[in-house]
Amino acid sequence: MRRFWLKLWRRRRLQQDLEDELAFHREMTAEHGNSLPLGRGGTETVVREQAYDQWRFVFLENLGRDLVYAARGLRRSPALVATALVSLALGIGVNSTVFSLGMEFLFSEPSLRDASSVVAIRLGGNSHSTERVLNFVRDSGVFQDVAGNNEEVFVNWNDGVDTRPVFGVATSMNYFSSLGVPVEYGRGILPNDPKEVVVLSHDFWVKHLNGDPAILGRALNLDGRACTVVGILPANHRTLIGFGFSPDLYMPSYLDATLLAIYARLKPGMSRGEARAALENVAQQLDRVFPEQFKYYKHNQLMAVSGVARLTEQSEMFSTGVFLALLLGVTGLVLLIACINVASLLLARAAARRPEMATRLALGAGRGRLLQQLLVESSLLSILGAACGLAASQFTASMLAQIRLPLPLPIHLRIEPDWRLVAYAVFLTVFATIACGLLPAWRSVKESIAADFHRDRGMRLRRTLVVAQLAVSLVVLFIGFLFLHNLGAAGAMSPGFDVRNTLRAEIHLPPATYKDSQHINLYAGQALRELGAIPGITGAAVARIVPFTDNTHFSSDLVFPSSGKTVRAVFQWNAVSPAFFQVMDIPVLQGRVFRDDDRAGQHVVVVNRTFVKRYLGNQPPIGASFLWGAQGKTPYEIIGVVEGTKTMTIGEEDAPQLYETLTQIANNRPRIQFVLRSAIPPAQQVQPVHEVLHRLDPAVGTEVATMYSSIGLAFLPSQVGGVLMGTIGALALLLAAIGLYGVMVYSVARRTREIGVRIAIGAAPRDITRMVLIDSAQLIGIGSAIGLLVALLIAKPLAIFLVPGLRPTDPLSFSAVLFTLAITGMIATWGPVRRALAVDPMTSLRQD
């Protein structure tokens, strides 16, 4: 410490002192007639340096000087810097973005107090249970507390002018207090609150209420009830579901029919294993107390809601995890390519600076000192690259967060930098520095002292790097191409109905006014008439389910009395009005579709082609009738066969489908969906349709969209996957091409002298070209072979992400990748060869 202050104290005067002192020494020596040997030439400088060094912060000052030197050197080669920075920024930027996306999806903590002690409970394999069951579990005393929510509740909000559906979560009264959900302003819902309270999301508050804090304590008109706003959630509120799901508000569940997903807080010290065992007991008691209900003792689940345990215990998270792991792996490869790029660039630069290094070593520079300087240079480069990368990823992340996904659920991804991202980026930077800096630095120092015959080894290293780069690029490209091809295949697939000329309107009737199917049918009939009268609308129908927005499937025994056979059938169910098939443009293959007079009497159904093929065998479908379930009494008659549609994802296999007519079922659901066919572009019909529905009953929540925009969800997984992977594949190609070009340019440039010799002794330019091209072709061949092998190995597990019919060993992707790589390699070789040929042999001979 004392030395430190002493150094600081004397720093400024040091040099002058030393000068004066040495001058004095010289004078004295001269006076004493050279009785003492004065330093020989040059010694004085050494003395000065050595004495001076004692008093300096040698390491730091050297570092500073190295930095200045490195910056100056880098400024002199802007092409190198640009290439390296672009490489690293893309590599690190893409990685950070994917990393934050993956983290948000997989590890985002729900906003709860001590989330690690909260578990999700599924009884009897049901995701949701009645409040009675929930209370039973709470009263069992196994858990510290039990709460529930239904995360899919539409509420009609009347702001005095318009009524619109907003997305709510219905909760048990103790939800906020027992789970400890943090609130930004006001408070959460308290157990002894009345049912007419509401907690708003930050987004909803800002967007629809202008972020006015005075809203606290005031009432909103929700489903005709005046609900007092008691609290506002923070902007970074994350729901228990995760995945960026952002509902507009939380309110107490007030309808008995609302089913709740059960969440429980474990007692301190209780493990999930113990809790699971205790839950089995509770489930068995449930079966004894409520014998008329579902069977609860089977398929009980108790799962963590956060952290790594959530991934391992919730099965549906698995494929998401695999996809993101894959994505991260692929982006890691991209970063590797970027690093190899920079490494070969620095290597080339290091070789070009061999004379400089040799000179400095000869003048007495320490090897460690030179290494330090080279490392400083590459660190500077990679830190700059990391900074660019982080900036790039921030930019893309905020772009991603802004995108409103065309989904029926409010999804808002909150991608923010957190310590994990920072740690990851720092890790990448260090990795990049070591990969890019150490190797070339070590080589250049070693090479400079070694004689020329080591040059071959240097070439071999660079060639190994080229081969490695080619192999990695091929793997990344292959995956990218595969997913692009997948995207194309998915886009070309038809959902089985017309999405271009149709619209969808979703209606939420206030349950208080529309109590039963009579009221609902009355409304629906009137709405259909008025909608059909809109100019340009050529058809209107009601459907219980519009494909891709919802689905209901049954697994039942169908008994055919005519043959006495019983078939176990699994099928997608829907109930529609007669015009549905015409509006959706679903072809009728046999028989007829529903008519308005299919009301009382015979129950009629329409099935799809797959249903006939799978469950009717050789039986003629039209006129066949079956009983639904072993105890079924009503015969259902098949009156028509239609073409199938997709139901949930565009890539799914064709499923059996069964349609009933709405007039023959209890149509008591307050949620109604209209489908409309338009002769003019459907986007122009959104406004008129909305107006008609609003005029009909202003208290009804209405949402109108073109079919294409409202079923975006179906196209999403393969689209997002395809776009992400395709982008990364293109990125990899770009990086690989840059790197390949750089290395080829350099390796040909190093052979300039050899080429000069060859021309001087009579080689024709054609021979030279052939020689170099064959050389690169060899490299490309070896690299591709290795890459192909690896790609084939990893291709198998990719099959789960692909549309049916597309195999991972898809020859089209393979040949496209190989072709791309070969072309890039050849172009990268061609330029430098031409340049080498243009050089005068004499010049190139004198060069070394």
Binding interface with other proteins (CB under 8 A): 2-3, 6-7, 17-18, 20-22, 24-25, 27-29, 31-32, 36-39, 43-44, 46-47, 50-55
Task: Name the residue type at position 447.
Answer: E
* For other proteins, the closer CB: 20 or 109: 20
Residue with structure tokens 């091209």?
Answer: 773
Q: Which helix or strand (DSSP H or E) is residue 274 part of?
A: helix 272-289
Residue 28 beta carbon to other proteins: minimum distance, rounded to whole angstroms = 4
DSSP 571: E
Residue 48 beta carbon to other proteins: minimum distance, rounded to whole angstroms = 8
Longest Cα–Cα distance in the chain: 136
* For other proteins, the closer CB: 13 or 770: 13
* For other proteins, the closer CB: 17 or 162: 17
Distance CA 405, CA 104 (A): 16
Query: Which residues are paired to 302 by β-bridges?
Result: 121
Distance CA 330, CA 477 (A): 9
Residue 66 beta carbon to other proteins: minimum distance, rounded to whole angstroms = 24
* For other proteins, the closer CB: 44 or 184: 44
* For other proteins, the closer CB: 46 or 277: 46
Residue 82 beta carbon to other proteins: minimum distance, rounded to whole angstroms = 45
Distance CA 752, CA 833 (A): 9
* For other proteins, the closer CB: 47 or 206: 47
Residue 4 beta carbon to other proteins: minimum distance, rounded to whole angstroms = 10
* For other proteins, the closer CB: 46 or 589: 46
Distance CA 103, CA 420 (A): 9
Distance CA 125, CA 146 (A): 18
Distance CA 155, CA 223 (A): 6
SS3 of residue 705 by DSSP: strand
Residue 59 beta carbon to other proteins: minimum distance, rounded to whole angstroms = 16
Residue 474 beta carbon to other proteins: minimum distance, rounded to whole angstroms = 59
SS3 of residue 777 by DSSP: helix
Distance CA 231, CA 111 (A): 15
Residue 61 beta carbon to other proteins: minimum distance, rounded to whole angstroms = 16
* For other proteins, the closer CB: 1 or 214: 1
* For other proteins, the closer CB: 13 or 460: 13
* For other proteins, the closer CB: 60 or 838: 60
Distance CA 506, CA 705 (A): 9
* For other proteins, the closer CB: 15 or 494: 15
Residue 37 beta carbon to other proteins: minimum distance, rounded to whole angstroms = 6
Distance CA 193, CA 149 (A): 16
Residue with structure tokens 């259902």?
Answer: 636
Q: Which of 487, 375, 373, 467 is nearest to 715 (CA)?
A: 487
Task: Name the residue type at position 697.
Answer: D
SS3 of residue 687 by DSSP: helix
The answer to whether the CB of 151 falls within 8 A of the CB of 247 is yes
**CB neighbours of residue 465 within 10 Å:** 18
* For other proteins, the closer CB: 5 or 419: 5
* For other proteins, the closer CB: 14 or 434: 14
Token representation of residue 120: 């999700």
* For other proteins, the closer CB: 46 or 449: 46
Query: Which residues are paired to 574 by β-bridges?
Result: 659
Residue 47 beta carbon to other proteins: minimum distance, rounded to whole angstroms = 5
The end-to-end CA distance of the chain, in Å, is 52
Residue with structure tokens 């060869």?
Answer: 833
Distance CA 529, CA 527 (A): 5
* For other proteins, the closer CB: 30 or 190: 30
Query: Which residues are paired to 565 by β-bridges?
Result: 560
Q: Which of 654, 64, 86, 766 is nearest to 376 (CA)?
A: 64
SS3 of residue 590 by DSSP: strand
SS (H, E, C) 206-266: HHHHCCCHHHCCCEEEECCEEEEEEEECCCCCCCCCCCCECCCEEEECCCCCCCEEEEEEC
Residue 30 beta carbon to other proteins: minimum distance, rounded to whole angstroms = 11
Distance CA 661, CA 595 (A): 9
Residue 21 beta carbon to other proteins: minimum distance, rounded to whole angstroms = 5
Residue 238 beta carbon to other proteins: minimum distance, rounded to whole angstroms = 58
Residue 35 beta carbon to other proteins: minimum distance, rounded to whole angstroms = 8
105-134 core/surface letters (b: 16 or more CB in 10 A; e: else): bbebebbbeebebbbbbbbbebebbbbebb
Residue 20 beta carbon to other proteins: minimum distance, rounded to whole angstroms = 7
* For other proteins, the closer CB: 44 or 557: 44
Sequential DSSP letters for 498-541 = --SSEEEEEEE--TTT--SHHHHHHHHHHHHHHHHTSTTEEEEE
| Torsion sign over Cα 381, 382, 384, 385 | positive
Residue 10 beta carbon to other proteins: minimum distance, rounded to whole angstroms = 9
